[in-house]
Amino acid sequence: MFKRTLISFSLLSCFSAHALPVAPTEADRVLMQEVLGAEAAELTEKYALFFDSRNKKLIWFVPKIGKLASSGYGQNKSPIFNIMTKTPWSGSFLGIFFPKQKQVYAGGAFSSTGDTYALRKLYQTAAAAGYSVQPATAESSTLKFGLLGKDIDGDGYPDVNCISNEVTGVFDAQGKPLTHPECTYTIDGEVLGASKVIQVPDILAVSTGQRTGGRRLTNTVVPFNFNTVPSNVTVDLFQNSLKNTHGLDTLLYADINWELQTTGLTERARININWQPTFESVSTYAASHNYACIDVELTEISEKLLKEGAVTVKLYNRITRKWEPMSFDDTDANDDAEFIEAVNKVKEQIKNELFQEIKTKADKFAQSKSNMVTTEDDKKSVFFYRKNVEKRAFSHKEQKYVSWNPGKKTVRALTRFSLDCIEGGFDQKVQWQESGECKF
């Protein structure tokens, strides 16, 4: 929120890489709705959209929905996905820890392109409005798999219960018996034909065929593989999910979290100063303090100028494209820090124009020694009212501008991948299941 106490003395003066997506503001959302028109609801549901910081006719996008990637063409098209079971060697750690238990191994590739029909519509809709579209580039990304459980008791959380289980004959580094949690949860009824409490399928490892952490396009193919902690119950669960639901979407989910480097657009405020009532008000106030004020009193003066209308402030509204009176109580908190920095620069100029600062010699020496300027530096200063004869004699009204930029910030976007519309797996080849809602 903009602060009156901070804007006080910025009102009367002004100050003054490569293209990046613009961090969305309400103005950007409204403009995006105008650009996309009747297709806005559908497209913003499927894509995170950003304007460009330099090219006013460019839109960056991040898909919100992805799916398993395909290989081949036509009748030979198949999902890039395989799933199988493996029994750990009896002499291995997992073989000792989980004797006679199988584990699930799965691997493949996701495509964040997702709905190609929707992507084509995005390009066409933007082009019709005179805009071009490009996939955004992420500075980093993280792929993770999670489980989907059922909330039976209605408290908003999946129902999970865990107990500590001791492993016979296995000890930790201190010689104590090794324990691990045994957890159960309620699975969705679609997977097993009914909602049941079963053992949690612990996903042991997730990795990708290429590094996800580095800079990359968000519209891309993401290789992956994972395996589970050995458990015959888990194997049955995955097999039943594929058989009963033609996928794994009711059992687990896969997300990739993208981190985008964005910037903000420069905001502007227009300052209208009527110098005659400004000087009259400041002079009257300063006279009541013997023309020598401290910092708290300077704030009171600025409040007085705003209240009396000697100084008025308008912000440029990018939604209406008009200059509108500034609201001090309903502004974007994210802009606050950057605006404070801009205001402090102007504040010094205005104080110097209206008042002469006086410090003690000891106070000035302490400031010079620290080699820093902080908001505390003028706490012991006294400011006496300048004569300003020339400006008072010839200046009547003046219009100036204050500008500030929110600067760069990291914005997160998410793509959720589906693992559905497939059949086969384990001892069979995985294929697309093309019936009902799964037609491609």
**What is the C-alpha separation between 408 and 4, in angstroms, rounded?**
25
Helix then strand then coil, in percent of the chain rounded to 5, is 30, 35, 35
**Assigned token pair, 223:** 């290789």
Question: How many angstroms separate the CA atoms of 344 and 7, rounded?
Answer: 8
User: How far is it, in rounded angstroms, from Cα 413 to Cα 421?
Assistant: 25
What's the number of CA atoms in the CB half-sphere (13 Å) around residue 245? 21
CA distance 193 to 217: 40
Cβ of 273: how many Cβ atoms within 10 Å?
20
What pLDDT is attached to residue 439?
60
3-state secondary structure of 111: strand
| pLDDT for position 390 | 62
What is the pTM (predicted TM-score) of this model?
0.67
Residue 141 corresponds to which amino acid? S
HSE-CB for 176 with a 13 A CA cutoff? 4
pLDDT at 46: 93
Residue for token digits 């490569």?
18
Q: Which residues, at least 6 apart from 184, have a Cβ–Cβ distance to it below 8 Å?
A: 160, 161, 162, 197, 198, 199, 200
| Spatial distance between the Cα atoms of 56 and 37, rounded to a whole number of angstroms | 18
Give the pLDDT score at 343.
Answer: 54
Which of these, 349, 348, 342, 322, lies nearest to 404 by C-alpha position? Answer: 342
Q: What is the pLDDT along the chain (440 residues), one digit of tens a residue?
A: 333 433 433 333 332 235 667 666 776 788 888 999 999 999 999 999 998 877 889 999 999 999 999 998 877 889 999 999 999 887 787 887 788 899 999 999 999 887 888 999 999 999 999 999 999 988 888 888 888 888 887 888 888 888 887 777 777 777 888 777 778 888 877 777 777 888 888 887 776 654 455 678 888 899 999 988 888 989 999 999 999 889 998 888 888 989 888 776 666 777 777 878 888 888 888 788 777 787 777 777 777 777 788 777 777 776 677 887 765 444 444 445 555 555 555 555 566 667 766 766 554 444 434 444 444 444 567 777 777 766 666 667 877 777 666 667 788 899 999 999 999 999 899 999 877 677 65
So what's the pLDDT on residue 369?
Answer: 43
Q: Structural domain boundaries of the chain?
A: 4-16+266-405, 57-264+411-438
C-alpha distances (whole Å) from 218 to each of 31, 44, 257, 419 are 23, 16, 10, 19
Residue 216 CB neighbours (<10 A):
18
